[in-house]
Amino acid sequence: EIQFDGFTYPALDQIFSHAARMRTRTRSNITCPIVVRFPYGGGIRALEHHSESPETYFIHTAGLKVVVPSNPYDAKGLLISAIKDPNPVIFMEPKRIYRAIKQEIPDDSYTVPIGEAKIVREGKDCTIISWGAMVREAERAARELESAGVDCEVIDVRTLSPCDYKTIIESVKKTGRAVIVHEAPRTLGFGAEISARIQERAILSLKAPIFRVTGPDVPYPLFKLENYYLPNAEKIIEAVKKVIGF
């Protein structure tokens, strides 16, 4: 366990150069069944190294699995799956929702499969794709847009690597529109990869360009400015209205 997202950087050499490569390096004779668990993301009025979203570094590294739950039920089920997995798993917890959501959680052990996204709200007009704390913002945006006659589908990606592109593509083919939401900076964020996959496999179904709602390309700011930095429901609504009106 690493205390905060920004404290992972000194460990990256061991994670990238050794843990991620162990299976391939030994021709599967040795695996590295570890879980690297840490809180990430903003919204807690903290400084840099405490509020960053470094998922892209891990997703880009072959040999790692990357998991981001958005609620307590998935957190327990995905963590148990990660512990049972023979490969190294990066388990990122959105700290701003640690005490924001209450659910009834079974006492018994259960698993949520790694590699499966979840449609948390069905809709027909636009697909909103997100993970972690941004799923709540996406759901809030979808509820407000419903009153304006816009029916949004919301996908919780849950596992960023391996990513369930099949669920995403099928949804976008149905709605014809996509808005991707994440806290990390825009350039080369995971939203760009999702956008590329949609373009490759569903471009003829698109009725509008794919929009991204992300953090800007700057270091995470002082807490007085984090509300300007972070995506929120209002910014998502603005993006959805643009794709609907295209």
Q: 155-201: per-residue pLDDT in tens?
A: 999 999 999 999 999 999 999 999 999 999 999 999 999 999 999 99
DSSP bridge partners of 90:
36, 66
Rounded to whole angstroms, the Cα distance separating 191 from 183 reads 10
- Same domain (yes/no): 153, 223: yes
Name the band, by pLDDT with cuts 50, 70 and 90, for residue 224: confident
Task: Identify whether 107 is part of a domain.
Answer: no
DSSP for 201-237? HHGGG-SS--EEEEE-SS----GGGHHHHS--HHHHH
- Number of structural domains (the chain) is 2
Query: CATH number for the domain including 11?
Result: 3.40.50.970
Residues in CB range of 117: below 8 A, 6 or more apart = 155, 156, 157, 158, 159, 163, 164, 167, 168
Query: Among 103, 96, 188, which Cα is nearest to 135's?
Result: 96
Last residue of a domain, one of 44, 62, 97: 97
**Full residue range of the structural domain in which residue 137 is found:** 118-244
For the stretch 92-150, pLDDT in tens is: 999 999 988 889 999 999 999 999 999 999 999 999 999 999 999 999 999 999 999 99
For the stretch 70-80, pLDDT in tens is: 999 999 999 99
Task: Identify whether 197 is part of a domain.
Answer: yes
At 2 the pLDDT is 96
Active site residue 50: yes
**Helix (H) or strand (E) run with residue 35 in it:** strand 35-40
Query: CATH number for the domain including 122?
Result: 3.40.50.920
The mean per-residue pLDDT over the stretch 39-65 comes to 93
What separation in angstroms does the CA of 63 have from each of 24, 53, 93?
8, 20, 20
Name the band, by pLDDT with cuts 50, 70 and 90, for residue 67: very high
At 46 the pLDDT is 86
Q: Express as a percent the part of the chain with pLDDT over 90.
A: 93
Last residue of a domain, one of 97, 131, 163: 97
Q: Express as a percent the part of the chain with pLDDT over 70.
A: 100
Task: Identify whether 112 is part of a domain.
Answer: no
The mean per-residue pLDDT over the stretch 83-96 comes to 97
At 172 the pLDDT is 99
- Same domain (yes/no): 75, 131: no
Question: Catalytic residue among 18, 49, 50, 60, which?
Answer: 50
The mean per-residue pLDDT over the stretch 21-27 comes to 96
Query: Among 83, 79, 177, which Cα is nearest to 127's?
Result: 177
Q: Residue 31 in contact with residue 86, Cβ under 8 Å? A: yes
Name the band, by pLDDT with cuts 50, 70 and 90, for residue 47: confident
Task: Identify whether 102 is part of a domain.
Answer: no
| 217: its two tokens | 């390309």
- Same domain (yes/no): 133, 185: yes
pTM of the entire predicted model: 0.95
Last residue of a domain, one of 97, 129, 158: 97
- Same domain (yes/no): 236, 150: yes
- Same domain (yes/no): 36, 81: yes
- Same domain (yes/no): 74, 157: no
- Same domain (yes/no): 91, 156: no
Query: Among 176, 126, 192, which Cα is nearest to 155's?
Result: 126
DSSP for 50-71? SS---HHHHHTSTT-EEE--SS
What separation in angstroms does the CA of 225 have from each of 39, 52, 228?
21, 14, 5
